[in-house]
Every structure is written in structure tokens, then in C-alpha cells.
A and B are shown apart, each in its own frame.
Chain A
Amino acid sequence: MAERVRVKALTPPGHVRVPWYLRGKTGEIERPLGAFHNPEQLAYGLSAEEKPLYRVRFSMAEIWGDAAENPNDTLDAEIYAHWLEKVVIHAA
């Protein structure tokens, strides 16, 4: 089963490559992409450390709720690991 993750609902200042419409949304890891220099530092010419990057798949229902055109359509986006938190599913 794919790993479920939630995008952190943070609002830091500066250059961030996590779209607003995905913050706080839950999806599944589609594939790991390797590590890339953190754009949040790179954008300012700072020496940017490498951070793991993932492709995360969200359902349109998760993103847009009842306004989704088709709830089962999907959206994939690349999100850095430091913006993701594991979703723990508690047993009933």
C-alpha cells in the first residue's frame, strides 16, 4: 500500500515551491525522485543542502471537495520531504 502523507500547512516567508492549493492536503507517494538542492535557499544564492523530493498523488476530491469536476481524477506534484508528514492511520 502506498505511503500516505500530508503536506504541512505552513506559511513561511520567501521562495517556496509548495503550491498554496496543496497545503494541508493528504496524498500518496507516487515515487521518490532522489535528492535536489533546496530551492528555498537556492533562490537566494545560498549554498543549498540537498533534500529528498517526492512525487505525491492527490485525488481531486481531496483538493477541491465537492467542487471537483470528477472526484477520482488525480493531481501529482513534487513536494520536498521537509514539507511532508506521515499520516498515521489508527486502528479502530
Chain B
Amino acid sequence: MPHDHHDHDDYHHEGMSSSGHPYRADNDGPLTYWQRMEIAVRELLVEKSHLIPAQIATQIEVMDARSPANGAAVVARAWIDPDFKARLLADASAASREMGFDIGPLNLIAVENTADAHNLIVCTLCSCYPRNLLGLPPDWYKTREYRSRAVREPRAVLREFGLDLAESVAVRVHDSTADMRYMVLPARPEGTEGLSQEQLASLVTRDSMIGTGLPRQP
């Protein structure tokens, strides 16, 4: 039995799959302008021998392999190694490379959450995100709603993410408008004194590095 739903009848509803869900329509619609453009550029690059298809597939795999776990490892190291933390806050690109992450030309700035300040990252102009370290951004990060509201009413946005900050905590929003990318260095949760670096990394969520969340409690 593929699902645990309780409302399935013994017969299948019209238009539903055998597991009781609507069939997903095939993507037979016309291509958008940018889809056509991507195909045209890709085929031209291959036709003119600048690239072979395997290189494109490999690059997609490389990007898909990047995940928030890379950033979590950086954060956990900063929590237990004060010298590394100092290097991270001084030059987050160099500190990430020092840990062995191939982040390409990424210009990364780490901003530290403290008892007095909470940082939030946004790109109002498009969807700038430290992809080379954290992987692809969540879909909501790219929405017009998040991009416009994060700079105008960050505290209201954070409350919707479940984070109700005291007025005494300053909110510092960072708009990635040009060449730098940002990650939040969240504050280390209390009660984590005995944990290993790996255990600490498992507490670091993607959202805690964007600033829309806090690390998990152990």
C-alpha cells in the first residue's frame, strides 16, 4: 500500500491515479521565451565546439551536489574554533575554501547573530544567494513577496517564519545588491557544550543561515 490515507474508497475516482491522486498534466505547453533562449544558446555552444553535453550535465551535477550541509559544516567549525570564526568573519570565502569547499569565484560575507542583533539576507533585485556554498535557494527566497517585504517589514516576515524577536534585538537586513553574497553565522544554541562538530552541524538549518530561522535545539 503506497499511502496511509484514510479516506480512500474501494474504487478509483474518475481522473485519479491508482493511489488516489490527480494525474499530473504532461508539460506539453509552448516553450517560454527564456526556455527557447536557453536551448538556442546551449545548442550553439555545442555546435561551435565550446562545450560538450557531458560538461553541461557534469556542471548540473556539481551544482546539485551543493547543499546547506556545506554551510552547516562551516558554522559548526566557527562555533568550536574561535580562530576559525575570526577568519570567517574577516573573509568568509577564504574560510570556506580552507575547509575544502570549491566555491568558485564566490565573494562571501558572514554576518554574526548575537544576543543584540539578528541578521536577515535578501536579494531585492533578483535572487542572489551563496549557491556555491549552500546550493540552490528555496523558492520563496526568489518570490516578489519575500524580496519586497524583507526590507520593508522584516520583523513581520520573521514572525511568519516563527521567529518573534524582542524589540531589544536589532534587526540587520542585508540586501545582496551587487557582487557579494551573504550567510548568517547563527548563535550557537545553549546546552550544546558537549556536542561534536558533526553533531553541531546537524543543528544548523538552511533557514538559520538565511536568517529566517534559528538552529535546532539538541
Of B23-31, B38-46, B61-69, B168-176, the stretch lying at the interface with chain A is B168-176
Q: Are A17 and B178 in contact (CB under 8 A)?
A: yes
Nearest neighbor of B150 in chain A, beta-carbon distance? A75
Instruction: Determine the interface band of chain B, counting residues with CB < 8 A from chain A.
Output: 20 to 34
Number of interface residues of A (CB under 8 A): 23
Q: Are A69 and B173 in contact (CB under 8 A)?
A: no
In A64-92, the 8 Å CB interface with B consists of 64, 67, 69-70, 72-80
In the assembled complex, B80 has its CB within 8 A of some CB on chain A: no
Nearest neighbor of B151 in chain A, beta-carbon distance? A75
Distance, CA A42 to CA B77, complexed state (A): 37
In the assembled complex, A5 has its CB within 8 A of some CB on chain B: no
In the assembled complex, B152 has its CB within 8 A of some CB on chain A: yes
Given A21-B151, A69-B155, residue A75 in contact with residue B177 (CB < 8 A): no
Distance, CA A39 to CA B177, complexed state (A): 11
In the assembled complex, A55 has its CB within 8 A of some CB on chain B: yes
Nearest neighbor of B180 in chain A, beta-carbon distance? A78
Dominant secondary structure at the B interface: mixed
In A19-75, the 8 Å CB interface with B consists of 19, 21, 33, 36, 39, 53, 55, 63-64, 67, 69-70, 72-75
Task: Kindly identify which residue among A63, A69, A79 contacts B177, using a CB–CB cutoff of 8 Å.
Answer: A79
Distance, CA A12 to CA B84, complexed state (A): 43
Q: Are A74 and B167 in contact (CB under 8 A)?
A: no
In the assembled complex, the CB of A29 is this many whole angstroms from the nearest CB of chain B, namely 14
Q: Are B173 and A76 in contact (CB under 8 A)?
A: yes
* Residues of chain B contacted by A73 (CB below 8 angstroms): 154-155, 170-173
Q: Are A76 and B179 in contact (CB under 8 A)?
A: no
Distance, CA A64 to CA B151, complexed state (A): 10
Q: Are A76 and B154 in contact (CB under 8 A)?
A: no
Nearest neighbor of B176 in chain A, beta-carbon distance? A78
Distance, CA A33 to CA B173, complexed state (A): 18
Given contacts A53-B178, A70-B170, 8 further A-B contacts (CB under 8 A): A33-B180, A70-B155, A73-B155, A73-B170, A77-B174, A77-B177, A78-B175, A78-B177
